[in-house]
Copies of this chain bind each other. A is one copy, B any other.
Amino acid sequence: MAEDKMKLENQICFSLYATTREMTKLYRPLLADLNITYPQYLVLLALWETNPLTVKALGSRLYLDSGTLTPMLKRMEKEDLIERYRSQEDERSVLVGLTEKGRQAEDKAACIPDLLLENIDMSEQEILHLKNTLNRMLEGTKEKGENG
The interface of chain A, by Cβ under 8 A from chain B, is 5-8, 10-27, 38, 42, 45-46, 48-49, 61-63, 106, 109-110, 113-114, 116, 119-122, 126-127, 130-131, 133-138, 140-141, 144-145, 147
Give the residue of B8, B110, B134 whose beta carbon is less than 8 angstroms from that of A46. Answer: B8
Bound together, the chains give a CA A18 to CA B16 distance in angstroms of 10
Establish whether residues A109 and B19, one from each chain, have CB atoms under 8 Å apart when the complex forms: no
Q: List residues of chain B with CB within 8 A of the CB of A38.
A: 13, 17
- Nearest Cβ distance between residue A81 and chain B, in whole angstroms? 16
Q: List residues of chain B with CB within 8 A of the CB of A22.
A: 63, 138, 141, 145, 147
Q: Given A49-B7, A110-B6: A17 and B20 within 8 A (CB)?
A: yes
Q: List residues of chain B with CB within 8 A of the CB of A7.
A: 45, 49
Establish whether residues A6 and B144, one from each chain, have CB atoms under 8 Å apart when the complex forms: no
- Nearest Cβ distance between residue A54 and chain B, in whole angstroms? 16
Bound together, the chains give a CA A19 to CA B122 distance in angstroms of 20
- Nearest Cβ distance between residue A21 and chain B, in whole angstroms? 6
Establish whether residues B126 and A23, one from each chain, have CB atoms under 8 Å apart when the complex forms: no
Q: Given A7-B49, A22-B145: A135 and B17 within 8 A (CB)?
A: no
Q: List residues of chain B with CB within 8 A of the CB of A10.
A: 131
Q: List residues of chain B with CB within 8 A of the CB of A145.
A: 22, 25-26
Residue of B nearest to A114 (CB): B5
